Structure 1
Amino acid sequence: MITVNGARIACTDTGPRHAPAVVFGHGLLFGGWMFGPQIAALRTRYRCVTLDWRGQGESPPSPGGYDMDTLTADALGLIEALGLAPVHWVGLSMGGFVGQRLASRHGGVLRSLTLLGTSAGPEEARKAREYRRMARVQRVTGVRPLLPRIRPLLFGPAFLASPAARPVLTGWQRRVVRLDRTGLRQAVDGVADRPGVETELGRISVPTLIATGADDVATPPAEARRIADLVPAAELHLLAGCGHTSTLEQPARITELLEAFLGRLT
């Protein structure tokens, strides 16, 4: 645990201390563990750091501060506290919301930016209403009754149909049902209520890798194309047969993309 901006934030820190640092920001309803396959491949050459957003993963809930600007400040505080800058930032979905804000507002702390299954715009109104409603329901019932509705948002149909996916899905479910209900509601509201940052993306000057699943329901491929159009010299990859959670659905492909991208910059 590390205390940043008055909040206790869980983090992991593996790999050579003087190697280039890669910081991983996870998606909603996950934790830094979702980058396990990538860290396993990178940690001999890079210092790999994960952080769990407030009220998610192993981070306890906080009295407030679940909006994207506060989480960006948390990420910046962790980077400064651990003396990591400049870092390669890898963010999936929610972690991508933070990554875009870091890159456009605090570009000096980054070496590069990787965005996986994320969006620069605000949440579409219909989805935002649905997410807020589910967040209110789970506050009373817990998240378990909602899992059948949540899984297709987070994972693609090919992955859900694969017997090989069962250990991953079981591990995710075991973790998500343990989350504090109040903290989870605030985390969902923070995502649903976020403002867009499209007008800021032209200020991003670090090399940027964008990858998204062709079957991503939560952040469809059009969202990634929009970011690629707005970020100077960004490269975009579309992942066939993949849903929202690419690091777990196609771990080898994401690792391959990261190794090639980071390798060109090191």
Structure 2
Amino acid sequence: MEDLKLFTAGDGARIAYRFDGREDAPVLMLSNSIATSLRMWDGVMSDLVEHFRVLRYDTRGHGASDAPAGAYSIDRLGRDVIELLDALHIERVHFLGLSLGGMIGQWLGVRAPERIERLILSNTSAYLGPAEYFDGRIAELARIAGIADMGETAEGFIRNWFPASMIEQRFPFVDAFRKMVLETSPQGLAGGFAAVRDLDFRRSVALIDRPTLVIAGEHDTVTAASHGEAIAAAIPDARYVALPCVHLPNVEVRDAFVDAVRAFLIRP
């Protein structure tokens, strides 16, 4: 992708990132869902760059970032963000994470609040068990020889991300997200599943003291709206918005999602 750059994290993994928008605007950092890349935000970029210098990156194991072997941890994924900000000499950002990105956002809110101006946690959970489910998914991925065999995995994600009507009508963005899954390293996806498996912020999320907006999908079967409600209830003075969508409000209800983000980040 044009303008894509790489930085090397503390453990040697290369993380891909890019900037969009004018250099004098506040920085908004976007963190992608599992099995996607920074391209998942393409549909909302034209609106976001009107107000922000947008920093997107590929979570390790995804997109153009390296996919080292072994289990990843939410701590390592969070430190990737801090190390990237340090490398770019950026002190504080607005941070918007969706799904796995929202889990990374929770880590930042708890462990590195001094780096966060305002925090948006979209379609995410403080705990997503049981562990046995993720162990099974990791075992399945270990049997996949390469990205050419990711078809069944991709269809599973698509069914969880979009309403059946959009899938049946073959909306172009559905195919774009299917392509992202198909291009995800099985080894990287397994590492991400391990991070989700081991995550449990149900108690510590209450320590977040940054201004926080929690967005949930009313029809989300992965990170249910009740998960978002629980996060919002635990964080002091957090705002909560439920949108009529499944797992990807930035795509399915794009305008409502952008309106919620702008209303929260752009203070009168």
Is this a same-fold pair by TM over 0.5? yes
Kindly provide the CA deviation profile for residues 69-95 of structure 1, in whole angstroms up to 9, marking residues without a partner as x: 100000111112112221100000000
Per the TM alignment, residue 249 of structure 1 is displaced from its structure 2 partner at its CA by 1.4
The question of whether the paired residues in 2 share the 8 Å contact of 1:37 and 1:255 is answered with: no
Match of residue 259 from structure 1:
262
Kindly provide the CA deviation profile for residues 8-46 of structure 1, in whole angstroms up to 9, marking residues without a partner as x: 001111112232110001000111111122222121321
Q: In structure 1, the residue corresponding to 2:203 is in which secondary structure? A: helix
| Distance across 2 between alignment mates of 1:69 and 1:248 | 28
Per the TM alignment, residue 130 of structure 1 is displaced from its structure 2 partner at its CA by 4.7
Judged with a 3 Å threshold, the aligned counterparts in structure 2 of structure 1 residues 189 and 110 are, in CA distance, closer, same or farther, namely same
Match of residue 153 from structure 2:
146
| Distance across 2 between alignment mates of 1:131 and 1:4 | 27
| Distance across 1 between alignment mates of 2:190 and 2:69 | 12
Q: In structure 2, the residue corresponding to 1:197 is in which secondary structure? A: coil
Matched, 1:213 2:220: no
| Distance across 2 between alignment mates of 1:181 and 1:199 | 31
The question of whether the paired residues in 2 share the 8 Å contact of 1:156 and 1:244 is answered with: no
The question of whether the paired residues in 1 share the 8 Å contact of 2:71 and 2:194 is answered with: no
The question of whether the paired residues in 2 share the 8 Å contact of 1:135 and 1:188 is answered with: no
Judged with a 3 Å threshold, the aligned counterparts in structure 2 of structure 1 residues 188 and 195 are, in CA distance, closer, same or farther, namely closer
Per the TM alignment, residue 115 of structure 1 is displaced from its structure 2 partner at its CA by 0.7
Give the aligned residue type for 2:98: L
| Distance across 1 between alignment mates of 2:79 and 2:161 | 26
| Distance across 2 between alignment mates of 1:62 and 1:218 | 26
Per the TM alignment, residue 186 of structure 1 is displaced from its structure 2 partner at its CA by 2.1
Of residues 246, 249, 260, the one that matches 1:246 is 249
After TM superposition, the score normalised by the length of structure 2 is 0.90
Per the TM alignment, residue 183 of structure 1 is displaced from its structure 2 partner at its CA by 2.2
| Distance across 2 between alignment mates of 1:236 and 1:195 | 22
| Distance across 1 between alignment mates of 2:136 and 2:166 | 23
Q: State the aligned residue count.
A: 261
Match of residue 91 from structure 1:
97
Per the TM alignment, residue 174 of structure 1 is displaced from its structure 2 partner at its CA by 2.1
Superposition map of 1:105-116 within 5 A: 105-116=111-122
Match of residue 3 from structure 2:
none
Give the aligned residue type for 1:260: A
Superposition map of 1:96-245 within 5 A: 96-125=102-131, 127-139=133-145, 142-161=149-168, 163=169, 166-191=171-196, 193-240=197-244, 242-245=245-248
Per the TM alignment, residue 134 of structure 1 is displaced from its structure 2 partner at its CA by 3.9
The question of whether the paired residues in 2 share the 8 Å contact of 1:4 and 1:77 is answered with: yes
Give the aligned residue type for 1:66: Y
Indicate the RMSD between aligned Cα atoms, in angstroms. Answer: 2.0
Q: How many percent identity over aligned positions?
A: 26
The question of whether the paired residues in 2 share the 8 Å contact of 1:214 and 1:239 is answered with: yes
Structure 1 residues not aligned, in runs of 5+: none
The question of whether the paired residues in 2 share the 8 Å contact of 1:135 and 1:189 is answered with: no
| Distance across 1 between alignment mates of 2:144 and 2:225 | 29
Give the aligned residue type for 1:152: R
Give the aligned residue type for 1:171: A
Give the aligned residue type for 2:185: D
